[in-house]
Amino acid sequence: MIQEQTHDAELLTRAFELARKSYDEGGCPIGSVLARGPEILGEGHNQRVQNGDPIAHGEMDALRNAGRQASYADTTLYTSLSPCMMCAGTIVQFKIPRVVIGENVNFGGNEDFLRTHGVEVEIANDARCVELMGRFIADRPALWNEDIAE
């Protein structure tokens, strides 16, 4: 756990970079990384626009790209934005024990659901993540509302 935490800043930065890549592509700027200690198992970003895939949130894309895992017991999921209920449910379903969240200013509300199911939740309040997501919501409110089904 201590070893994992030393990699948090670096891996969260990678999730942010993936969010920015998606933003630059015209997509929803949410990036995610699944890691085992310092090792990235899979990474991805929201693919709603790029692939026309409403289920491929950043977290789901990272999990898909990581492929099959015999166990998630020693993994941490990094995500630039607080997970929606679909992604939070998947985290619980796969028994991912730890989630590092870039920010929950622009979206949140499922942190207690995760904690109730035994997931350790770290909220970084990363200014880069807050700024990028806030800019996206202001620029493209219809696209954002589509992503969260509002």
Which residues are marked as active site? 59
Q: With contacts defined by CB under 5 A, name the span among 79-87, 109-117, 120-128, 142-150 that binds Zn ion.
A: 79-87
Q: With contacts defined by CB under 5 A, name the span among 39-47, 57-65, 74-82, 119-127 that binds Zn ion.
A: 57-65
According to CB under 5 A, which residues from 91 to 150 bind Zn ion?
none
Residue from 15, 33, 63, 84 binding Zn ion (CB under 5 A):
84
Residue 87 within binding range of Zn ion, rule CB under 5 A? yes
DSSP 8-state code for residue 145: H
Residue 57 within binding range of Zn ion, rule CB under 5 A? yes
Contact 22/50 with Cβ under 8 angstroms?
yes
SS (H, E, C) 76-125: EEEECCCCCHHHHHHHHHCCCCEEEECCCCCCCCCHHHHHHCCCEEEECC
